[in-house]
Structure 1
Amino acid sequence: MKRRDFIQRSGMGLGALATSGLFMMGNPVSAEQLLEPGIDTAAKKLLADTALNAAKAKGATYTDVRIGRYLSQSVFTREKNVQGISNAETFGVGIRVIANGTWGFSATSDVTPDGIKACAETAVAIAKANSKLQTEPVVLAPEKGHGEVTWNTPIVKNPMEIPVKEKIDLLLKANNAAMDNGAAFVNSAIFMINEQKYFASTDGSYIDQDIHRLYPTFSVTAVNKAAGGFRSRQALSTPMGMGYEYMDGLAKDKIMNPAGFVSYNNSYDIVEDAISAAKQAKEKINAKSVTPGKYDLVLDPDHLGLTIHESVGHPLELDRVLGYEANYAGTSFATLDKWKSGDFKYGSDIVNIFADKTQDYSLGNTGYDDEGVKCKEWDLIKDGVLVNYQAIRDQVAILGGTESNGCAFADSWGSVQFQRMPNVSLRPGTEKYSPADMVKDVEKGIYILGRGSFSIDQQRYNFQFGGTVFYEIKDGEIVGMLEDVAYQSNTQEFWNSCTKICDKDDYRFMGTFNDGKGQPSQSSAVSHGSSTTRFDGVNVINTGRNI
């Protein structure tokens, strides 16, 4: 259940989150301790050099060192009460080496010269032991050393510096606003992450990065006591790679959607969204149940992001394609023969999907990946054709490449880095075209916002997706709310049914704080950008009322 944050939001409820530990990591600390500076850059360099020298002395031909301090704060409320506050810190070192042509990895929380030296020597010993089973040596794509560099998330307000009381007051204000507008139950929360990561390698890189992420969310439930029914509506926020300025709710970052309420871009008004949620939750109770059949779907970015994540992001991870990753949610239908053909139509001609860890405000935004590779943008699907995958330094040679895509990641100092999904996004349309224009062009359709339950097979091909809010479109107009909606398709059929994409003025992110992969599993944060998009003739089923 930890694989998708939307499952946590809609399936478990925020009350369960308060005790689940999904957003808590490390040792409990005070809010004040989160603001204490870590060790300075010069001290980190000395420690890193200790590891590099120790590993080389034991026979390593390549070494990288990650010194990480990871901070988190979570605040939970329900109705008029505070449910919990969590502050946590973890600090340690992960050392990865190649010896005898084979990887070895070790980690320690003993961040002293002696502790790091012993850790490096252990990593080399593990590599040498592993080499007895290695059939081919590791081949790393070359990476020029970057010297001493820094990169910081360009935040305006450090979330950790905002008093906890101010965060609580804002959540309770949102809760009260929802209850004043008819909600019977409200859970709300704010999750904050700060990763202070230092990377050094024998390539000559010493990279210091300070990364921030923020996620405000809630769940509102309305109850019809007379009929005995209830419905919920989740927040239409998205986690962002921003500071607390995301909570400012600036008018310039609001978009009026065709259903007549506000969608959000790079600023979020949690109180305004809570009011809309309460009204829509009440409306959902008596909403018309959908008639199954073929519909044109108008998908809001906050919804479409999850479909991109599951049907494009995961199947184009090269380790899934090769069958190396199968234990955690399967492999991929997008096998190398399809890429090699040069003409595999993943989607229609207007579908252009790219990977990019440098997008401003995105969860994946960072200067360098966890192999010290400078992050960049690259195409995955061009004019509907599969053109590339996601690959890191020890994978690109398989594709005949000589340069990593810069998408290696480890979720802590104690985890080994491996290929992780960067931001994977759909390029907006090139002509001026708004969501309202799109609705006007639909005769029989459904407008879908927000995330819901989903199912996809082990090759990322056949799938079913729900949503949060659904509106019926008839003859170019929204005529009312629907319920019990889910659409079914397969990845290639679905993306080939894409007929129209709104322009860049509607481009927004959807994101997930907890994308799971690997065994042992690791969790990463990733965003997916898109504009409102239309898919024609998609099969819609009625999921049945759960009241």
Structure 2
Amino acid sequence: MKRREFINLTGLGLGALMIPGFAAFGREVTAEELMNPGIMRSAKKELADAALQAARSKGATYTDVRIGRYLRQFLFTREKNVQNITNAESFGVGIRVIADGTWGFAATHDVTKEGISKCAETAVAIAKANAKIQKEPVILAPVVGAGEVNWETPIEKNAFNIPVKEKIDLLLKVNNAALDNGAGFVTSNLFMVNEQKYFASTDGSYIDQDIHRIWPTFSVTAIDKAEGKFKTRDSLSAPMGMGYEYLDGLASEKTSGPAGLISYRNSYDMVEDATAAAKHANEKLKAKSVDPGKYDLVLDPDHLGLTIHESVGHPLELDRVLGYEANYAGTSFATLDKWQSGDFKYGSDLVNIFADKTQPYSLGKTAFDDEGVKTKEWDLIKDGVLVNYQAIRDQASIINETESHGCAYADNWNSVQFQRMPNVSLRPGKEKLSALDMIKGVDKGIYIVGRGSYSIDQQRYNFQFGGQLFYEIKNGEIVGMLDDVAYQSNTQEFWNSCVQICDEDDYRLFGTFFDGKGQPSQVSAVSHGSSTTRFNGVNVINTGRRI
């Protein structure tokens, strides 16, 4: 994933065309066209009713309709220059039905009553054709119709309303800050997403949602020409379910932590972070190479989020557990028998991990999922024990659930919705504890900040993770920067080595726009929250040494 993100975020020439979710996304438009209001809500309801009626007349026993307008803006700069500006819009309808006990799906960009009715009839025909080889009928967990509901991401500043020049000026200011503080190269990017989704179903739901997300990011490179070496430091931002107010960088939303690092929560000062990044990249050029061995690890939330994503989020996706993703994304070590035992120790007693699509500012926050199910919070791991998975309407009965967890998602109107990872997060500790306090109790350890390269097997069990910044801890104090650090473990061993978690004052979100899954592949945006956490006796390797 790290390699993919590098290609996606820094590739020159292709720019936005190389980014999943932007490639062949839809028609290119002007920045002004992104602000067009789209069709009226009343018109959406009329179109949805036409689809529901057409499907019913052809024999569908269930139908849902998603009328979607998906907007993207991507800005990419390098040093003093703008590399790419992409504005894209995609508008159309996806219709899913059950006929003869089997799913059928069709989509169209002909957003007229005639076009939608024809699309609905096609979906029914596909379902009936599929039914000839379907072994068991689809069983949907019940959903009470929501009626007519409207929901919007609670933003203060619509990022699409901010002039492109103002946003480009910010990115170039970021680049200048890095260059002025010793960077040899720097790229900066700004991703903005607006999903306008209207959902209607035969359950009696007409749900209109307006969802916003933003991700500012950069990569700074420092060069030692004499030694022929270079080091990078990426931004420590988290993509958020917010508007442009995220970039206000309010002082009240940031704190100084170990090694003088600034932690951001619900706001982000991109220029300040770029200034620090250039200094860190140059410091990494002179950093001591780590001695391999066992260390106690103190993991910052901006690092731990990726470990949560890979070692908890993915293995607890029920479709992966059942083998539905084996051909592409892999399977899971967290098989049903482990859950059925009721005592499988996924982690230590301190480990409480929950799924939640209602977390404020998170990428996954919505009022309803793409099956019209009201979103909620539920436990995955409680007191270290595996207690649940992530399931949608046609999976819930498999794990004896009476309702969907509300985590179905499709990345576009022409993609079929399926089970996607909700926000999966580690609950903060109950006792007052800061990251600085935690470090005071470590005799031999490493403090790790930021997402880095990683590797994990197809069952999400054996893994290796790197990071952005590494600081050596001796006798309760940070004594200097380290380099060439990665830790190796397996999921169960790692989470059972968790011995301390900072309290809610340290709780922050990590996230990604580009979580890939499914065939044809789709991407989704997801956040992972945690506080700084300590893991004892983890194996650390030196990634710079060659045999």
TM over 0.5: yes
Match for 1:213: what amino acid?
Answer: R
User: 2:3 maps to which residue?
Assistant: 7
Alpha-carbon contact 1:214-1:240 (below 8 Å) kept: yes
C-alpha separation in 2, matches of 1:494 and 1:26: 43
> For 1:96-107, what aligned pairs fall within 5 Å after superposition?
96-107=96-107
Change (3 A) 1:373 1:425: same
Aligned to 1:164: 164
State whether residues 8 and 14 of structure 1, in contact with CA within 8 Å, keep that contact through their aligned partners in structure 2. no
Give 1:12 shift.
5.7
State the partner residue of 2:180: 180
Distance 1:485 1:405 in 2: 38
Give the residue type in structure 1 aligned to 2:392.
Answer: I
The reply on whether 1:64 has 2:34 as its aligned counterpart is no
Partners in 1 of 2:20 and 2:308 — Cα distance? 23
**Cα shift at 1:401:** 1.3
Amino acid at match of 1:532: T
1:378-393 map, 5 Å: 378-393=378-393
CA offsets 1:373-413 (integer angstroms, 9 cap, x no match): 00000000000000000000000101111100000000000
Kindly indicate whether the alpha-carbon contact (under 8 Å) linking 1:349 and 1:383 is maintained by their aligned counterparts in 2.
Answer: yes
Alignment of 1:124-523 (within 5 A): 124-523=124-523
State the aligned residue count: 542
Change (3 A) 1:404 1:23: closer
Cα deviation 1:209-231 (Å, max 9, x = unaligned): 00000000000001111222110
What secondary structure does 2:260 align onto?
coil
Letter in 2 for 1:89: E
Distance 1:270 1:23 in 2: 24
Letter in 2 for 1:465: F
1:20 to 18, 21, 24: 18
How many Å apart are 1:11 and its aligned residue? Answer: 5.6
Q: Is the 8 A contact 2:374 2:406 kept in 1?
A: yes
The 3-state SS of whatever aligns with 1:452 is coil
Q: 1:258 to 1:167 in 2, by over 3 A?
A: same
- Please give the per-residue CA displacement for 1:123-178, whole angstroms capped at 9, x wherever unaligned: 00000000000111100000000000011000000000000000011111111011
1:85 equivalent in structure 2: 85
Cα offsets for 1:320-368 (capped at 9, x unmatched): 1111111222100000000000000000000000000000000000000
Cα deviation 1:449-470 (Å, max 9, x = unaligned): 0011111111110000000110
Q: CA deviation at 1:9?
A: 4.3
Alignment deviations for residues 305-334 of structure 1 (CA, whole Å, 9 cap, x no partner): 000000000000001111111122210000
Q: Cα deviations across residues 65-117 of structure 1 (Å, max 9, x unaligned)?
A: 00000000011111111111000000000000000000000000000001000
CA distance in 1, matches of 2:44, 2:429: 46
Q: Secondary structure at the match of 1:381?
A: strand
> Partner letter of residue 420 of structure 2?
R
Structure 2 runs not aligned, ≥5 long: none
User: Secondary structure in 2 aligned to 1:259?
Assistant: helix
CA distance in 2, matches of 1:175, 1:56: 57
Q: CA RMSD in A?
A: 1.0
SS of 1:117 mapped into structure 2? helix
SS of corresponding position for 1:316: coil
Tell me if the contact between 1:299 and 1:532 (Cα under 8 Å) persists in the aligned partners: yes
Contact 1:10 1:452 (8 Å CA) reproduced: no
SS in 1 for 2:34: helix
- Please list every run of 5 or more consecutive structure 1 residues that lacks an aligned counterpart in the other structure: none
Contact 1:296 1:444 in 2 (8 A): yes
Indicate the larger mover: 207-216 or 536-545.
536-545
Provide the C-alpha distance between the structure 1 equivalents of 2:3 and 2:503, rounded to a whole number of angstroms.
Answer: 30
Aligned residue type for 1:299? L
The 8 Å contact of residues 515 and 526 in structure 2, kept in 1 or not, is answered as yes
Task: Provide the residue aligned with 1:49 in structure 2.
Answer: 49
Instruction: Describe how 1:518-533 pairs up with structure 2 within 5 A.
Output: 518-533=518-533
Contact 1:183 1:222 in 2 (8 A): yes
**Amino acid in the other structure paired with 2:173:** K
Q: Which amino acid aligns with 2:361?
A: Y
**Matches of 1:85 and 1:12, distance apart in 2:** 14
Q: CA deviation at 1:14?
A: 1.7
**Alpha-carbon contact 2:20-2:523 (below 8 Å) kept:** no
CA distance in 2, matches of 1:59, 1:103: 12
Once the two structures are TM-superposed, the CA of residue 259 in structure 1 deviates from its matched residue by 1.2
8 Å CA contact 1:80, 1:172 repeated in 2: yes
Distance 2:120 2:223 in 1: 59
Change (3 A) 1:18 1:400: closer
8 A contact 1:363–1:511 mirrored in 2:
yes
Deviation at 1:414, TM superposition (A): 0.2
Following the alignment from structure 1 to structure 2, what is the Cα–Cα distance between the partners of residues 242 and 497? 34
Amino acid in structure 1 at the alignment position of 2:501? I
Offset from partner CA, 1:205-256 (integer Å, 9 cap, x none): 0000000000000000011112221101000001000000000000111121
- Partner of 1:104: helix, strand, or coil? strand
CA drift of 1:20 comes to 1.3
Looking at structure 1, the residues matched to 121 and 349 of structure 2 have their Cα atoms a distance apart, in angstroms, of 53
Q: Deviations over 1:486-505 (max 9, x none)?
A: 00000000000000000000
Contact 1:9 1:234 in 2 (8 A): no
- 1:225 and 1:243 mapped to 2: Cα distance? 41
Find out whether 1:120 has 2:116 as its counterpart. Answer: no
The answer to whether the 8 Å contact 2:8/2:19 transfers is: no
In 1, Cα distance between equivalents of 2:264 and 2:545: 29
